[in-house]
Amino acid sequence: MTDALTDEALQALRGNDAELFSAVYQSFAGQVLGYLSAKGVQDPEALTQDVFLAVLPRIHAISGGVKGLRTFVFSVAHARMVDDHRRQVRVPEHQEFEAERDTREVLSAEAEAMDRVAPGEVLALLGFLPEEQREVLSLRIIAGLTVEQVAEIMGKSQGAVKQLQRRALTTLREHSAVKEYVAP
Amino acid sequence: MTRSNADRDKLVSELMLDAGVPGDALLKASLESIAGLSALPAPAPRGELAALLGVPSVDPDGGTNPDGDELAGRRRRKHRPAIVAGAVVTAMGLGIGGVAASGGLQQNSPEFIQSLIAGWAPQGNPAPPSLVPAGPVPDAPKVTAVPAPSSLPTAQAAAGTPQSLASPSPSAVPGHASTGNAPSAGKSPAALTEKKAEKPHKVKPKVAAAARKEDRPAGTVRPGPSSPAGSSQMSFRDSVELMLNERGRVGGKAVEDVLRRIVRLGIRF
């Protein structure tokens, strides 16, 4: 895993908040957006910006270099995702759809990227998984976290995380939709 | 920056190895497609985040609540027709209220129109077409021809009545007759004053007019004066008095002409 932001670059940018913030945002914002999109939050872009509004002011207190920063960023993203899911459960949002006001297809970079990656079917794949398996899989392959980091974020043991990811892969492999999606 | 395809492949391979299912191509492909979500571009910072990063916000209003202004605009657009409708209804209400406050045209229209007509009559027109309808004119000679012989006794008997006041006008009592004549004619004051002013030029119809006037009381047929201008009798009297005072009794002849004219009009009516 080769991020543009390395420990050396992070150390060099200390004291220059504007460039440091921009570098951190550009390094992690796309992954956070992908993670939140995979988790099915209501407004992934807005929540992504909320995550960095919480992370960037505290960036000087983070230890552990880029690895520690990644863990912290996705810890905040995970917490915001959980809050968003709880809010959706409490108050399901019912919005009247007005086609003339719906400009998301044109303006959203997320939608364009989703079409480029796999139109709609990636989220459908994740939708087959239970919540915890989905969370582990997202943190592992979208956020790029290790089992230890995922365990720390989710508050579980490493063995539990490994068990969850194993079940997740088994579910995906056995699911018929996986074969339909991958088949030419 | 974002992760490369090789990095994603490495991540997926490690995951599959940890899960104990290495080498499954189909599963690997699906997992790589999921991992591709990490390649999403970073969203453009807005609002507070843009300020924190030191970059201009995407939205000119700060972007903290991009839908807020749009919703406010839609609310304004929704309220606009209601405001216009309210203004129209208010204007109509004021108009109707104004008409109602004025008492309405139907109730006051007769008096109102009468007052207008009493004060407004064509000047310089000796015989206005509205006062001399075409129909009654041919009938006038018939009436005068038949009751002519019995005119004298009836005229004296009715001297006290307003109708007979016009009888002495031919030549007997020009001055006195004018005072007592007022209520008889029932003509609009303005029209009468004008006719009087122009009358002096016409001397010919005096005799005929006198005969007709005397015939009138005998037959006791006066449909004309009462019906069309019954409400303006008082104003006629006042107008005659006013005329005499202003002109200072211009002369017996002129007064006679006025009275004859009045009588002639009365016959026609």
ipTM value: 0.74
- What pLDDT does B258 receive? 72
B76-95 pLDDT per residue, tens: 666 677 788 888 888 888 88
A146-183 burial code (b ≥16 CB/10 A, e <16) = bbebbbbbbebeeebbbbbbbbbbebbbeeeebeebbe
Cα distance between residue B5 and residue A97, in whole Å: 37
Measure B86 CA to nearest chain A CA, in Å: 28
Compare CB distances from B34 to A2, A53, A141 and report the shortest one's residue. A141
B-chain residues near A22 (CB < 8 A): 53-55
A65 pLDDT above the threshold of 70: yes
- What pLDDT does B31 receive? 85
Compare CB distances from B34 to A2, A126, A162 and report the shortest one's residue. A126
DSSP 3-state of B108 = helix
- What pLDDT does A74 receive? 93
Give the tokens for residue A168. Answer: 């997740």
Mutate to test the interface with A, among B8, B18, B34, B53 (most CBs of A within 10 A): B34
Which chain A residue is nearest to residue B8, measuring alpha carbons? A141
Task: State whether residue A124 sits within 8 Å of chain B by CB.
Answer: no
Which chain A residue is nearest to residue B10, measuring alpha carbons? A1
B-chain residues near A141 (CB < 8 A): 8, 11-12, 15, 31, 34-35, 38
Q: Look at B185 and B52; give whichever has higher pLDDT.
A: B52
Mean pLDDT of B229-256: 59
Task: State whether residue B7 sits within 8 Å of chain A by CB.
Answer: yes
Compare CB distances from A53 to B40, B41, B49 and report the shortest one's residue. B49
Task: State whether residue B69 sits within 8 Å of chain A by CB.
Answer: no
- What pLDDT does B247 receive? 54
Measure A182 CA to nearest chain B CA, in Å: 6
Neighbours of B28 (CB within 10 A): 20
**Over pLDDT 90: what percentage of chain B?**
0
Count interface pairs A-B at CB distance under 8 A: 155
A106 pLDDT above the threshold of 70: no
B11 and A172 within 8 Å at the Cβ level: the answer is: no
- What pLDDT does B235 receive? 66
B104 pLDDT above the threshold of 60: no
- What pLDDT does B226 receive? 45
Cα distance between residue A110 and residue A41, in whole Å: 13
- What pLDDT does A40 receive? 84
Task: State whether residue B39 sits within 8 Å of chain A by CB.
Answer: yes
- Arithmetic mean of pLDDT over chain A: 81
Which chain B residue is nearest to residue A158, measuring alpha carbons? B18
Cα distance between residue A151 and residue A20, in whole Å: 28
Which chain B residue is nearest to residue A173, measuring alpha carbons? B27
Cα distance between residue A51 and residue A42, in whole Å: 14
- Arithmetic mean of pLDDT over chain B: 62
Measure A90 CA to nearest chain B CA, in Å: 22
A1 and B12 within 8 Å at the Cβ level: the answer is: no
Q: Look at B8 and B170; give whichever has higher pLDDT.
A: B8
The highest-confidence range among A28-37, B19-28, B230-239, by mean pLDDT, is: A28-37
By C-alpha distance, which of B186, B55, B53 is closest to B118? B186
B137-157 pLDDT per residue, tens: 555 555 555 555 544 554 454
Compare CB distances from B30 to A53, A143, A178 and report the shortest one's residue. A178
Q: pLDDT category, B15, cuts 50, 70, 90?
A: confident
Cα distance between residue B218 and residue B227, in whole Å: 19
Q: What is the DSSP string of chain A?
A: ---SS-HHHHHHTTT-HHHHHHHHHHHHHHHHHHHHHHTT-S-HHHHHHHHHHHHGGGGGG--SHHHHHHHHHHHHHHHHHHHHHHHHHHS-------GGG--HHHH-HHHHHHHHH-TTHHHHHHHTS-HHHHHHHHHHHTS---HHHHHHHHT--HHHHHHHHHHHHHHHHH-HHHHHHH--
B55 and A52 within 8 Å at the Cβ level: the answer is: no
A113-151 pLDDT per residue, tens: 555 454 467 788 788 889 899 999 899 988 889 899 999
Compare CB distances from B41 to A21, A30, A137 and report the shortest one's residue. A30
Lowest mean pLDDT among A30-39, B17-26, B86-95, B159-168: B159-168
- What pLDDT does A111 receive? 52
- What pLDDT does B106 receive? 54
By C-alpha distance, which of B164, B259, B138, B145 is closest to B220? B164
Mean pLDDT of B51-65: 65
Give the tokens for residue A121. Answer: 């079917």
Compare CB distances from A125 to B30, B44, B54 and report the shortest one's residue. B30
Q: Look at A89 and A54; give whichever has higher pLDDT.
A: A54
DSSP state of B246: H
Compare CB distances from B43 to A45, A117, A141 and report the shortest one's residue. A45
B-chain residues near A134 (CB < 8 A): none
